[in-house]
């Protein structure tokens, strides 16, 4: 490609609404252009990156025997009503009516449509397994679109759907996709991690997220550096502490803690370690029976320095649906105001749920259910009954034991770019997608679904790879692999001739090269390509040529390397192979 | 590709709602699957054709220096309001509201968005010319979607937009696109014709449609076999007959024609040629001034065997906006009922508009403005004044003189698959998309737009190329170029070995080949591939192999040709090069 036949448009400054570095750099590098809230035009430079991402995804999906088709963007409401998602999806599902008043969804994903396709196409177990995918525009009406392509409303996603005759088959298909994803993210040249994820309300037996590692990531990833264990924060199990609960050494005592409602300030006031305090969270679950609403109150206990994990709370018996107890209810049930709640003296029907760590504590500090007072020296069994329920309620922290017993946990931040999911029969049962098994009996299809956020990859790759000059693309998804920067091509026949020769040689070698023939000054030209992030640059100047040299500089290199014109193609190929 | 890793799904019968052959065959060949009215899933077999069409379009667009980007599907209403199209487009424009109540269009085309992009990106004449295109899903909420991909609601279109500094530049860009389109349709291997089209309400200075020739086409194409002249029916000019109007030979006479309101029946009743009758069409144009509506009545005269051309009527002075005169008005103005209207005796303020052909007629028959009577022997100048306006009002017919004076016109039918359009400054002026010219003065961008209906190409190609067995794809857009049909691959080692060898050899030669390893019976297997329309087939059977032969058969061949295994690759390559 010659720059004069391409469209390059860079900016000195990012627009003020670009909050994160990938958004800022994509705007400055002319890769995207905002059309509306969460809606972007992919400019020629950005589209090249998207196409390279898509090509790698497509190759690996085909290699994994997935079959490409293309499902519509505008999908009839009736299908979404069959699975109940028309109601469940809420405002994120963009809905539209046609001229006859019929309702449609603009697809955020295509489980319903693919299930509709296969329920008429798949008749026999002989046709299985099958895996269909498409790469298509999606729309999700986010409440607060932000971060450019990271949380846009219109975006491109690859979504695949596998169909199997039984659970074992589905798990095998899942494994094939998991491995394909591993190859895809490896080929992208990105540091990534696959982590076990919670299955959420959809059920099913397993799911993994693929994250690009970046300090700026929204998600916390938990992993064990000395084993294979990895999970997202929602799903990472906090084991109980090993060993027995220490014996009590202190007497229960009521300490005045006026205006001191947080564990941090209580610990500071009492001069003790935060890890000796227990915080109390009051939740209420309501159930309706014969028109009568029954409330059940729960008191959750967490060590002062730990964080509550909402997903884990939802799995405690009785807490699938819960809310915070209101201040009015707190007064009525516990006789206390928030900040001074505690488990001592509470009675049925309150259920005390202790986090595994709290269950192993002795001589702890907790609220006294008396405004302005905390207990110190509290001990299970002596000052309060053993907790009715002991459960994993908290987020793990770095240094916790790994659930696989093979080391301690570490935490890093990631950006979710892929998700593989064992769906089971949730969709096939609600949509009656069955096949005839070997005995001629109808059975529901076992499904899996597998997504990659194509456009999000761009943002994630940049969050992981940038410096103060701009983007640093991995070569496999860079808009161009090599840029040629001739100095004064219009003035020097030598420069012109050598540049054209090198351009042709690189193209002949299958290198994706751009020749910057715009005639810009060197400083502006170099700044553009550093901002855009092309990984390899060759400067062709008359002085260098007279010394028998071209100047090669990798995007991460701090200095240029002189290379003889006769060696440069091989030199670049060697760099690209690294 | 191995068929066992692909998805092939054929049907014996087409669904009853498939009215035309391309729709029927695409459904039967498993290329598309209906999701809703005018909305289709492109199944794997159909998607392969779409991708080949897209690849050819993309290559030729890039070759013509057009630059690919990707504009959003969901576009803010504000942009469409700037050009007035938000109101003008009516119910065809699919409108949607987001969670905040903001309005958007689902793009049917992207003039507004690209003009918005360039008005901030193009600052100087030095950046021009520029041509941007994208290949993207479109939605048009057709009142009556039908004919499968021919008139669907969701479809794929390539739309390009050129930007120039002046009219000459825009015309040059238009020529480049016209030539690119010619190459594209030539590469598709389709018989096509570019015809001049009417510019419609949008104005501008020129436009051409590209049509795939097919008997079943919706549009009539006019061309001169002995010259370059070609236009669609709307735009084809009907010249005035050469020579003088013949002198009158008959007396004016009133003939009783009870219950005889059509020219055809009048001619039959009177025993004369239909070409001696004149039909009268009464139109009324209303203009409002100072709150007062003024009506102007027009009487249009057309030879009995000719058809009115609505586009031409709209170009007659005073008739840009018109409607049919109501029966009440006919009685009031002409004292006549429909079917017996005629120009004799009419007075101002009625304007008589004669078609050029009628202006040259003498001794003609027309309505007498008296129910149950027609005049015969009517003559201009003698029985009624010369027409106030003489204009081209009719569709041309085969045998008419070509407007370029180089022969006579012929008519064939076509399917519109492309349109190139000189837009001028209509969009750039309403959206204030200007650039600084050489004198530093702002000037509006000169625009052109260029569309190709990607998915429609599939339907059009089939309408042109099919037989009673199924589709006959041109090789360049066939889902596969060659199919290998082994006979009893599971039983014969020889067949298996030869098949795998040939499969590898063809793949190595860059041929897009599918190996049918499904193990079907020969009859069913052949029927599938004839229906799907793969252009080249090779049958590998044990008996043939023992005789040193493979059986080659082109999709249009009536018999197979024996070819030695050692010659088959070269043989196929020679066939493909034809």
Using the predicted structure, report yes or no on whether residue A300 has a pLDDT greater than 70: yes
Each residue's pLDDT tens digit, B297-323: 999 999 999 999 999 999 999 998 899
Contact A71 B121 (CB under 8 A): no
Among chain A residues, CA nearest to B140: A98
Each residue's pLDDT tens digit, B212-243: 999 999 999 999 999 999 999 999 999 998 89
Enclosing H/E stretch for B417: strand B410-424
A94 vs B contacts (CB less than 8 Å): 74, 96, 98
Structural domains in chain A plus CATH codes = 3-237+411-462 (3.30.930.10), 253-391 (3.90.960.10), 480-577 (3.40.50.800)
Residues B232-253: b if buried by 16+ CB within 10 A, e if exposed = bbbbbbbeeeeeeeeebeeebe
Note whether A56 and A476 are within 8 A (CB): yes
Taking Cα atoms as reference points, which of A158, A188, A209, A212 lies closest to residue A415?
A: A212
The backbone torsions φ and ψ at residue B81, rounded to the nearest 5 degrees and listed phi first, read -75, -30
Each residue's pLDDT tens digit, A258-274: 998 899 999 999 999 99
Q: How far from each other are the two terminal CA atoms of chain A, in whole angstroms? A: 24
Which pair of tokens denotes residue B481? Answer: 């170029």
pLDDT at residue A548 in the model: 95
How buried is residue B555: exposed, middle or buried, by Cβ count under 10 Å (0-12/13-18/19+)?
buried
Contact B42 A98 (CB under 8 A): no
Q: Is the peptide bond before A129 cis (omega within 30 degrees of 0)?
A: yes
d(CA B506, CA B160) in angstroms, rounded, equals: 36
Instruction: Select the residue from A36, A58, A123, A128 to test the B interface by mutation, using most B Cβ atoms within 10 A.
Output: A36
User: Which residues neighbour B157 within 8 Å (Cβ) at sequence distance 6 or greater?
Assistant: B109, B135, B136, B138, B451, B452, B453, B454
State the pairing for strand pair B130-139/B154-164: antiparallel
pLDDT at residue B291 in the model: 87
Using the predicted structure, report yes or no on whether residue B337 has a pLDDT greater than 90: no
pLDDT at residue B411 in the model: 97
pLDDT-based confidence at residue A389 (cuts at 50, 70, 90): very high
pLDDT at residue B289 in the model: 86
d(CA B5, CA A40) in angstroms, rounded, equals: 36
pLDDT at residue A287 in the model: 87
Among chain A residues, CA nearest to B133: A44
Residues composing chain B: 578
Using the predicted structure, report yes or no on whether residue A242 has a pLDDT greater than 80: yes
Taking Cα atoms as reference points, which of A569, A426, A421, A456 lies closest to residue A155?
A: A456
Instruction: Select the residue from A29, A73, A140 to test the B interface by mutation, using most B Cβ atoms within 10 A.
Output: A73
CA of B155, closest CA in chain A: separation in Å? 9
pLDDT at residue B336 in the model: 87
pLDDT-based confidence at residue B380 (cuts at 50, 70, 90): very high
CA atoms within 13 A on the CB side of A203: 6
CA of B362, closest CA in chain A: separation in Å? 51
pTM: 0.92
Instruction: Select the residue from B48, B50, B71, B74 to test the A interface by mutation, using most A Cβ atoms within 10 A.
Output: B74
d(CA B552, CA B571) in angstroms, rounded, equals: 9
Each residue's pLDDT tens digit, B3-29: 999 999 999 998 888 889 999 999 999
Mean pLDDT of chain A: 95
Average pLDDT over residues A244-256: 95
Contact A95 B96 (CB under 8 A): yes
User: Which residues neighbour B291 within 8 Å (Cβ) at sequence distance 6 or greater?
Assistant: none
Secondary structure class of B69 (helix, strand, coil)? coil
d(CA A474, CA A190) in angstroms, rounded, equals: 7
* % residues pLDDT > 70 (chain B): 99
pLDDT at residue B198 in the model: 80
Contact B143 A39 (CB under 8 A): no
CA of A143, closest CA in chain B: separation in Å? 8
pLDDT-based confidence at residue A205 (cuts at 50, 70, 90): low
pLDDT at residue B74 in the model: 97
Contact A67 B95 (CB under 8 A): no
Average pLDDT over residues B153-163: 97
User: Which residues neighbour A441 within 8 Å (Cβ) at sequence distance 6 or greater?
Assistant: none
pLDDT at residue A200 in the model: 61
Contact B117 A91 (CB under 8 A): no
Q: Indicate whether this complex's ipTM tops 0.90.
A: yes
């Amino acid at each position: 490609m010659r720059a004069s036949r391409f469209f390059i448009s860079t900016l000195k400054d990012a627009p003020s609404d670009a909050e994160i570095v990938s958004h800022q750099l994509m705007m400055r590098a002319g890769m995207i252009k905002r059309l509306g809230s969460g809606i972007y035009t992919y400019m020629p430079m950005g589209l090249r990156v998207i196409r390279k991402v898509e090509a790698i995804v497509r190759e690996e999906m085909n290699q994994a025997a997935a079959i490409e088709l293309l499902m519509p963007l505008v999908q009839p409401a009736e299908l979404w009503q069959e699975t109940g998602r028309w109601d469940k999806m809420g405002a994120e599902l963009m809905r539209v009516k046609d001229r006859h008043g019929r309702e449609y969804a603009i697809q955020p994903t295509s489980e319903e449509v693919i299930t509709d396709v296969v329920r008429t196409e798949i008749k026999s177990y002989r046709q299985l397994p099958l895996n269909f995918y498409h790469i298509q525009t999606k729309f999700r009406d986010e409440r607060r679109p932000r971060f450019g392509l990271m949380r846009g409303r219109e975006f491109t996603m690859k979504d695949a759907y596998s169909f199997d005759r039984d659970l074992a088959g589905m798990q095998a298909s899942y494994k094939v996709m998991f491995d394909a994803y591993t190859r895809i993210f490896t080929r992208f040249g990105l540091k990534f991690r696959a982590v076990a994820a919670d299955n959420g309300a959809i059920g099913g037996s397993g799911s993994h997220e693929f994250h690009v590692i970046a300090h700026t990531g929204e998600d916390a990833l938990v992993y064990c550096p000395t084993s294979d264990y990895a999970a997202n924060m929602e799903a990472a199990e906090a084991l109980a502490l090993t060993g027995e609960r220490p014996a009590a050494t202190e007497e229960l005592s009521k300490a005045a803690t006026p205006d001191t409602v947080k564990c941090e300030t209580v610990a500071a006031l009492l001069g003790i370690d935060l890890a000796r305090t227990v915080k109390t969270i009051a939740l209420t679950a309501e159930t309706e029976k014969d028109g009568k609403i029954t409330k059940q109150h729960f008191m959750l206990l967490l060590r002062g320095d730990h964080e509550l994990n909402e997903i884990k709370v939802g799995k405690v018996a009785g807490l699938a649906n819960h809310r915070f107890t209101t201040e009015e209810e707190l007064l009525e049930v516990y006789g206390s105001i928030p900040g001074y709640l505690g488990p001592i003296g509470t009675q049925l029907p309150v259920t005390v749920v202790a986090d595994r760590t709290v269950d192993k504590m002795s001589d702890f500090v907790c609220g006294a259910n008396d405004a302005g007072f905390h207990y110190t020296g509290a001990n299970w069994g002596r000052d309060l009954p053993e907790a009715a329920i002991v459960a994993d309620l908290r987020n793990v922290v770095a240094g916790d034991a790994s659930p696989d017993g093979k080391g301690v946990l570490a935490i890093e931040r990631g950006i979710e770019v892929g998700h593989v999911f064992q769906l089971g029969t949730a969709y096939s049962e609600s949509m009656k997608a069955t096949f005839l098994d070997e005995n001629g009996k109808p059975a529901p299809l076992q499904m899996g679904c597998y997504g990659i956020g194509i456009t999000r990859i761009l943002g994630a790759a940049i969050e992981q790879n940038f410096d103060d000059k701009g983007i640093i693309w991995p070569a496999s998804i860079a808009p161009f692999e090599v840029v040629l920067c001739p100095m004064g091509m219009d003035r020097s026949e030598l420069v012109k001739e050598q540049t054209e020769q090198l351009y042709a040689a690189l193209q002949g070698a299958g290198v994706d090269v751009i020749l910057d023939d715009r005639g810009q000054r060197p400083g502006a030209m170099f700044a553009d390509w550093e901002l855009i992030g092309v990984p390899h640059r060759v400067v062709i100047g008359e002085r260098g040529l007279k010394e028998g040299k071209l100047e090669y500089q990798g995007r991460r290199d701090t200095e240029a390397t002189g290379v003889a014109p006769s060696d440069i193609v091989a030199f670049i190929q060697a760099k690209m192979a690294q």
